[in-house]
């Protein structure tokens, strides 16, 4: 099937993407993300001679290319995005993806153009700043510019491969979830053949990395062809027509209200949030989105320690601290279930809805957090540290949730792109996390002092959290539910 490329439509979609970013976080905030990537890569490249003393060149290349692949996978779920845009009303937002509903234009053509737009946008937004930072630091790190250029090419191809794979999986899932699951299992089987089986090498299933391992340009050509084939398949799998999903549910609100009677005056709102979470089908995504990063931290530490022989050893107290600091995305999921504008005509305030969502957040994460810490305590043989680890987990969870709610309200997934909000967030979150990491590392050498300071820090975070939660009311009570008021009014100030 031939899909002619419409340059005017492409330019218009690119402008739409820029306007969406600017409407969320402003012009300066929109430009902040690539600047952060640039400086991060600059610092990484400058310090690479020190890092390379502990990590080999092959390991660094593996980390960079796997990161680029995961980044591509995260932004390439365009099939699911297309279905959502075509079947749901996104508040007051209308996108160019919705053109086929009113105009005689193929949805596949729209999606093909959208795919190319997204590819170029994220290359400019992240890949080029990343490579640019490395290029600036290349003379200091004694890295040839030709190697930097080749690294840029292989990272781009890796990102393209991840994006095209994600696109085809999401487009296929809209038609047949079992078929998408089968393809996903095939990809997982290939990964397992690399590790832990060891039958294949990472370069054999990730061709851009294979170029660095075997110095064969054929790997680059294979990557490009594979990405183009996957992209074409994704566009062909894309449905032309969508039907809004419908379902019949038993009445749950009043029974749930009784179950959440412990929430007092918020019980009806908490019941509403719980019912929405259940019926939206995102309960699994919320829970796995919380568990995934937690297990990723443990697996990465285990991989570097066992698989690469690096002297990395984190005790259960460290993991207890990570529990709280990795819960931000879960809160973001909960605040992004549906548009909230309709509540402007309801007898509720923004701060009440935030508190109701916080109740749901703690209900979902508390048991999982404590179970995670206890399991790691058993695995590491550190049962004596469990009480302290659980205290640290509880204090960090409460503190981070309070700070996130105070700064971002109901718009976490957009307001954290604002450089002012992000700066305040990191200023409040990073120092306590840093002290948890440092103090937990000294438990073996200075147990009494480090454990005492950890208890003091945990109790201090709980005390500060009380004031932070109190300030949620004063910060958000008088705001409107429409996000548009936040970009021009006081809400944009944090």
Half-sphere exposure of 337 (CA within 13 A, CB side): 23
Instruction: Find out whether the peptide bond into 196 is cis, omega within 30 degrees of 0.
Output: yes
Strand ranges (E), 163-313: none
Burial class of residue 387, CB neighbours in 10 A (0-12, 13-18, 19+)? exposed
Q: Is the dihedral of CA 272, 275, 279, 284 positive or negative?
A: positive
Q: What is the pLDDT of residue 401?
A: 92
Structure tokens at 119: 């590819």
Structure tokens at 343: 């509540």
Q: What is the pLDDT of residue 56?
A: 73
Q: How far is CA 29 from CA 36, 366, 422, in A?
A: 11, 33, 9
- Length of the chain equals 494
Q: Which alpha helices (DSSP H) does 5-77 contain, by range?
A: 7-46, 48-51, 57-75
Rounded distance between C-alpha atoms, residue 178 and residue 270, angstroms: 34
Residue 93, helix vs strand vs coil: strand
CB 353 within 8 A of CB 270: no
Q: Count the neighbouring beta carbons within 10 Å of the beta carbon of residue 336.
A: 15
Q: What is the pLDDT of residue 492?
A: 41
Rounded distance between C-alpha atoms, residue 430 and residue 432, angstroms: 6
- For the residues of 217-252, what is the DSSP string, one character each? THHHHHHHHHHHHHHHHHHHHS-S------------
Q: What is the pLDDT of residue 109?
A: 87
What DSSP state is assigned to residue 90?
Answer: B
What residue has token string 């997934």? 413
Max CA separation in the chain (angstroms) = 73
Give, for 201, the enclosing helix (H) or strand (E): none
Short-list 90, 73, 78, CA closest to 23 = 90
What residue has token string 């032309």? 240
Rounded distance between C-alpha atoms, residue 476 and residue 256, angstroms: 26
Rounded distance between C-alpha atoms, residue 116 and residue 118, angstroms: 5
Rounded distance between C-alpha atoms, residue 394 and residue 333, angstroms: 20
Give, rounded to a whole angstrom, the gap between the first and last alpha carbons of the chain.
50
CB 303 within 8 A of CB 291: no
Question: What's phi and psi for 246, nearest 5 deg?
Answer: -125, 150
Tens-level pLDDT at each residue, the chain (494 residues): 445 567 888 888 888 888 776 665 555 556 677 887 888 788 777 776 765 666 678 878 888 898 899 888 888 776 555 555 555 555 555 677 777 777 778 888 888 888 999 899 889 888 999 899 888 888 877 778 898 999 999 999 999 999 999 999 888 888 888 888 898 899 989 988 887 778 888 899 999 999 999 989 999 999 999 999 999 999 898 877 655 556 666 777 788 888 888 888 888 889 988 888 877 766 766 776 677 667 767 766 665 555 445 555 678 898 888 887 777 777 877 887 676 777 777 788 889 999 999 999 898 888 888 888 898 888 888 889 999 999 999 999 999 999 999 998 888 877 776 778 878 888 898 889 888 888 988 888 898 999 999 999 999 999 999 999 999 988 888 888 865 444 434 444 44
Cα angle 80, 328, 480 (rounded to 5 degrees) comes to 80
Q: Count the neighbouring beta carbons within 10 Å of the beta carbon of residue 57.
A: 10
Short-list 437, 436, 413, CA closest to 425 = 413
Q: How far is CA 163 from CA 68, 124, 439, in A?
A: 10, 15, 40
CB 418 within 8 A of CB 412: no
Rounded distance between C-alpha atoms, residue 77 and residue 53, angstroms: 38
Radius of gyration of the chain from its Cα atoms, rounded to whole angstroms? 24
Q: Assign 3-state DSSP to the chain and report helix, strand, coil percentages, each to 5.
A: 80, 0, 20
Structure tokens at 429: 């979150």
Rounded distance between C-alpha atoms, residue 494 and residue 46, angstroms: 34
Q: What is the pLDDT of residue 486?
A: 44
- What are the residue boundaries of the structural domains of the chain, listed by start? 7-237, 282-493
């Amino acid at each position: 099937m031939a899909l002619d490329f419409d340059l005017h439509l492409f330019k218009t979609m690119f402008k739409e993407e820029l306007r969406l970013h600017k409407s969320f976080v402003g012009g300066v905030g929109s430009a902040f993300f690539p600047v952060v990537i640039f400086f991060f890569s600059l610092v990484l490249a400058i310090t690479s001679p020190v890092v390379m003393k502990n990590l080999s060149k092959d390991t660094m290349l593996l980390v960079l290319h796997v990161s680029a692949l995961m980044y591509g996978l995260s932004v390439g779920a365009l099939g699911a995005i297309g279905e959502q845009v075509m079947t749901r009303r996104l508040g007051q937002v209308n996108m160019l993806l919705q053109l086929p509903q009113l105009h005689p234009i193929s949805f596949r053509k729209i999606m093909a153009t959208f795919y190319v737009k997204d590819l170029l946008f994220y290359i400019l937004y992240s890949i080029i700043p990343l490579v640019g930072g490395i290029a600036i630091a290349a003379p200091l790190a004694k890295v040839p510019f030709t190697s930097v250029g080749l690294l840029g090419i292989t990272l781009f191809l890796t990102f393209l491969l991840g994006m095209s794979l994600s696109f085809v999986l999401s487009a296929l899932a809209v038609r047949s979830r079992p078929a998408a699951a089968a393809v996903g299992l095939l990809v997982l089987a290939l990964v397992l053949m690399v590790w832990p089986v060891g039958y294949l090498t990472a370069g054999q299933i990730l061709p851009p990395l294979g170029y660095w391992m075997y110095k064969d340009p054929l790997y680059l050509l294979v990557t490009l062809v594979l990405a183009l084939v996957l992209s074409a398949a994704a566009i062909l799998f894309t449905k032309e027509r969508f039907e809004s999903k419908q379902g019949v549910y038993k009445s749950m609100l009043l029974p749930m209200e009784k179950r959440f009677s412990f929430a007092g005056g918020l019980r009806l709102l908490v019941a509403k949030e719980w019912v929405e979470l259940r019926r939206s089908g995102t309960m699994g995504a919320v829970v796995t989105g919380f568990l995934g990063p937690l297990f990723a931290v443990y697996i990465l530490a285990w991989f570097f320690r066992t698989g690469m022989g690096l002297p990395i050893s984190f005790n259960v107290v460290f993991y207890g601290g990570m529990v709280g600091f990795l819960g931000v995305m879960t809160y973001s999921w909960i605040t992004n279930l549906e548009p909230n504008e309709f509540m402007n005509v309801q007898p509720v305030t923004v701060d009440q809805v935030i508190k109701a969502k916080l109740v749901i957040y703690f209900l979902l994460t508390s048991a999982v957090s404590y179970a995670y810490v206890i399991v790691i305590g058993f695995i590491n043989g550190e049962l004596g540290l469990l009480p302290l680890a659980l205290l640290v987990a509880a204090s960090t969870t409460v503190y981070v949730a309070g700070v996130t709610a105070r700064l971002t309200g109901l718009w976490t997934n957009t307001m954290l792109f604002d450089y002012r909000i992000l700066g305040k967030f990191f200023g409040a979150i990073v120092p306590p996390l840093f002290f948890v990491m440092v103090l937990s590392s000294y438990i073996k050498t200075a147990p009494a002092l480090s454990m005492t300071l950890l208890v003091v820090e945990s109790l201090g975070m709980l005390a500060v959290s009380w004031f932070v939660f109190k300030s949620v009311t004063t910060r958000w009570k008088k705001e409107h539910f429409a996000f548009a008021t936040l970009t021009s009014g006081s809400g944009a100030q944090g």
